[in-house]
Structure 1
C-alpha cells in the first residue's frame, strides 16, 4: 500500500511540473480569449465535489468516529487527484501565472500530508519513538482535517477569479475587500449557526455570552479596517472616508459590546450591540455610490439584506429569548439571521466592478442576479445544516443516563461529553483496543 502511495505522489509531482503555454494570451492580458473546454469543466466539477462536499462531510464523520470516514476520504482523495490531473491536461483557455495554480501546490501538499498521516496511524506502529510520536500525529491529523474546508474555500475562490481573469492591477484592492468581507459574513453566519445548534455547552463553560465574542471580533476587525482602508500618504477619496469611518464605528461599538456583555455580578449578559453594527453596516453599504447602475442596485440589496439580519437579531435577543441564552431547539425565526448573513456574504463577494461589468454586458438584470446569489446561500445553509445534523445525530444513547437530550440535541453533561469526543478527532479504527479502553475510562 505504501508503494502505491509513493507512486501516486510521484505521478502528482510530475503533473505539477507540467507548464501551460501562454502563446495565445494577448499582451497585457492574463487569460486568452478561448472558451473553457470540457476537460477544464470536469476539473472544476470534480474539485468542487471533492473539496467542497466530500472532504467537509468526511471531516464531520471523522470527528464523530464514523466507520464511513475512511471510505469517504478515500473516494474524495481519488477524485481530488483526478481533478488535479485534469487541471493540467485541459486545452482551450490559457492562463498566465496565477494565484490559483500557485496555491494548488500548498493545498495538495496538505492533502498528501493528511493522507500520509492517516496511513501511518492506520499501521499502528507504537513501539519506541513511534509510541511517543503518535499523540502528536493524531493531533496534527485532526488539525489538518478541520482546516481543509477553510483552505478549500479559499482555493475555490482563487479558481473562479483565475478562470475569469479578474482581480489584477487596480482591481486587486477592491477584490480583496469584497472577497475577504464577503467570506467573513459567511463565516460569521456559520459560527452563529454552530453556536445556535451545538455550541451552547461551550458558551456556558467559557462564562461569556455570545455577544462578548462577537464584540471582541468586531473591535479587532474595526481596528484593522481603520488603518488599512486608506493608503497613507495619498489623498483621501470618498470611498476611503466611508470605509475608514465604518472601521471606527466597529471598534467603538465593539468596546461597548464587550462592556455590556458582563452583568453587575460578572455573569454573562446578552446585548444588541453586534446586531446594531450589522444594521449600521448594511445601512452604510446600501447608500454606497457606484459607477454602474447595476452595481448601485446590487449594493443596495446587499445593504437591505444586512440591515434585515441586524433587525432579526435584535428581535431574537430582546423579544424571542428575552435576554436569555438559547437553550432549547431553535425556533424557525432564529435561522433567519445566520441565513441572511450567508446571503449578504454571497452578494458582497459578487459585487466587484469586474463581475458586475460582465453581468451587465450579457444583459442580466440585478433581480435575476440577486436570485441566483440567494439560491447559493440557500444551498450552502442547507449543507451546513446537514453537517451539523451528522455531528449531532451520529451517536445513539445507549442507556437512560446517556439520553440527556433536549429536543434531539445534547444538553448539560451530555453536550460537554460530545464536545470532548469531538476534540479527539481521529480516523475510525486508528486507535488500538488498549487506547480505546483508556479513553473510555477517562470519560465520566
Structure 2
C-alpha cells in the first residue's frame, strides 16, 4: 500500500511538471491567438452554408413540382415526337401561372413583408434596394416575349408560317412590349427622373397596372382562341376567363391601395384571394389544354365541366394547405426559445 501511494504521488508530480512545461495555452490556443485569416474564412464558410441552405429550402418546392409533372408526362406517354414542343409550351407556361397564384396567395398571407411584397410599405434598411415584385413580374413577362418570338415555330420548323403561328407571335410581341413598359414604370432611375421633372413626391407603394393589363389581354385572346376540338376550345375559354378575372381583381386591389395607402404591416386585401384562386386554377387548366392532354381527356370521355370542377377543387385544397403551412410556421415561431435570436445562423 505504501508503494502504491508513492507511485501515485510520483505520477502527480509528473503531471504537474508536464503542465508547467507545456502550459494550457500551448495545448489549446485561445481565440485571441487565432489568425484573422482563419476567422475570416470561418465566417465566410458559415455565411456560404447558410445561404446554400436558404436557396435549397426555396428550390425544393420547385424541384418537387418539376419532378411530379415530368413524371406524370412520362407515365402517361404524352408529348411524343413533335408534340413535345406544344407540351412544353403549355406545361411550362401553365406551371408559371400556377406558381404565380401560390405567390399571390402567399403575399396575402404576409410572406415577403420584409421586402415590401406583402402589399405593405417597404421597410427601411437593406430591403430598400430590393426591386418591387411588380418589377420581377414585368421582367418575366418581357423575358417570355423576348424568348418565344423565335420558339413558336419549332413544331413546324422549315415549313410555312400558319395563321396560328402569327397569333402566337402577336402574343409574344404583346408580352415583350408590356413587360418592357412595366419595367420602365418600376425602374427607380426612371421614377426619380419623372419625379424631378414633374416635381411630385415619390411613391411608397408600387401601383403598376401593366402586368395585370397584359394578363387580361392574354385571357381575352385565349378565351376566343379556336381549337380543333370543342373540348379544347372550352378549356382555353375557361382558363382565359380565369386570367381575365385575376387581372380585374388585381386592378381593384391597386385602386383600393391608391385610395387608402397601406402601412408597414401586411394589408391583406381580400381581392388577392380571388386573384390567387383564379391564377392557380387557370394555370392547371392551361397545362391540361395541350393537344395530347385534350386527346387523353376526350378518350376518357371527360367533359370540360368535369375538368374545370376537379381543377377548382384541387386549387382550393392547395391554397388551404398553404394557409395551414404558414399558420404552423407562426405557431412554431411563437414557441421558439428566447435564446435563439435572428442573429443566430440557423434561427430562421
In the aligned structure 2, how far is the partner of 1:275 from the partner of 1:148? 28
- TM-score, scaled relative to structure 2: 0.72
- Name the residue aligned to 2:225: 288
Map 1:35-114; keep pairs closer than 5 Å.
none
Alignment match of 2:97 (pick from 158, 167, 185): 185
Residues 145-168 of structure 1: CA deviation (Å, up to 9, x unaligned): 332221111111011111111111
Alignment match of 2:279 (pick from 341, 362, 367): 341
- The answer on whether the counterparts of 1:282 and 1:303 sit within 8 Å (CA) in structure 2 is yes
In the aligned structure 1, how far is the partner of 2:271 from the partner of 2:44? 50
Residues 205-239 of structure 1: CA deviation (Å, up to 9, x unaligned): 23544322322221222211223222465421122
- The answer on whether the counterparts of 1:346 and 1:376 sit within 8 Å (CA) in structure 2 is no
Q: Please state how far the C-alpha of 1:135 moved relative to its aligned partner.
A: 4.7
Q: Please state how far the C-alpha of 1:130 moved relative to its aligned partner.
A: 8.6
In the aligned structure 1, how far is the partner of 2:331 from the partner of 2:162? 53
- Name the residue aligned to 2:128: 206
- Greater alpha carbon shift after TM alignment, 223-232 vs 172-181: 223-232
Q: Please state how far the C-alpha of 1:191 moved relative to its aligned partner.
A: 2.4
1:167 aligns with 2:92: no
Residues 355-389 of structure 1: CA deviation (Å, up to 9, x unaligned): 22122222221111110111111122122222233
- Name the residue aligned to 1:356: 294
Residues 239-271 of structure 1: CA deviation (Å, up to 9, x unaligned): 221111111111211222223334625545412
- The answer on whether the counterparts of 1:142 and 1:425 sit within 8 Å (CA) in structure 2 is no
- Name the residue aligned to 1:39: none
In the aligned structure 2, how far is the partner of 1:397 from the partner of 1:305? 40
In the aligned structure 2, how far is the partner of 1:245 from the partner of 1:228? 13
- The answer on whether the counterparts of 1:299 and 1:351 sit within 8 Å (CA) in structure 2 is yes
- Name the residue aligned to 2:318: 380
In the aligned structure 1, how far is the partner of 2:183 from the partner of 2:48? 36
Structure with more relative contact order (C-alpha pairs < 8 Å, separation 6 or more): 2
- Secondary structure of the 2:259 match is coil
Map 1:285-434; keep pairs closer than 5 Å.
285-319=222-256, 322=259, 324-325=261-262, 327-396=265-334, 424=345
- Secondary structure of the 2:241 match is helix
Flag the 1:273–1:366 CA change in 2: closer, same or farther, 3 A. Answer: same
Q: What is the number of residues matched between the two proteins?
A: 282
Query: Gaps spanning 5+ residues in structure 2: where?
Result: 1-38, 117-121, 196-200
Q: Please state how far the C-alpha of 1:176 moved relative to its aligned partner.
A: 0.2
- Name the residue aligned to 1:243: 168
- TM-score, scaled relative to structure 1: 0.57
